[in-house]
Amino acid sequence: MAKESNIVHEYFRKEFEEATILVRVNPIHYKITEITVPKEGDPELRNLEADEEIFEDLKADGFVSCNPLEFNLYLSGLL
């Protein structure tokens, strides 16, 4: 079984008029970390569970693959 530190996460983003949503997906355990970054106000973090269809769901909802840098900057509180 893969250790959490050995997993290569996948990252997605979607922009709305009022906010941007950044998503990190653990492709082994289907755990999701979602950061909602509003145009005004502080980012909100949510941890979610998903299933093997998460990638199709994200695509259907208009999310696109992105670089992990922005996600990790928000996660660490640097943005």
pLDDT digits (tens, 9 = 90+) for 66-78: 999 999 999 998 8
Q: Please tell me which residue, 26 or 5, carries the higher pLDDT value.
A: 26
Please list, in sequence order, all residues whose beta carbon lies within 8 angstroms of the beta carbon of residue 12, skipping any fewer than 6 positions away: 22, 23, 25, 58, 63, 64, 65, 66
Q: Where are the beta strands (DSSP E) in 1-79?
A: 10-15, 19-25, 31-38, 44-49, 64-65
pTM: 0.89
Q: How far apart are CA 29 and CA 2, in angstroms?
A: 9
pLDDT given at position 77 = 86
Structural domain boundaries in the chain: 6-64
pLDDT in tens, 30-58: 999 999 999 998 999 999 999 999 999 99
What per-residue string of b and e applies to 13-42 under the rule 16 or more CB within 10 Å gives b? beeeeebbbbbbbbeeeebbbbbbbeeeee
Average pLDDT for 5-23: 94
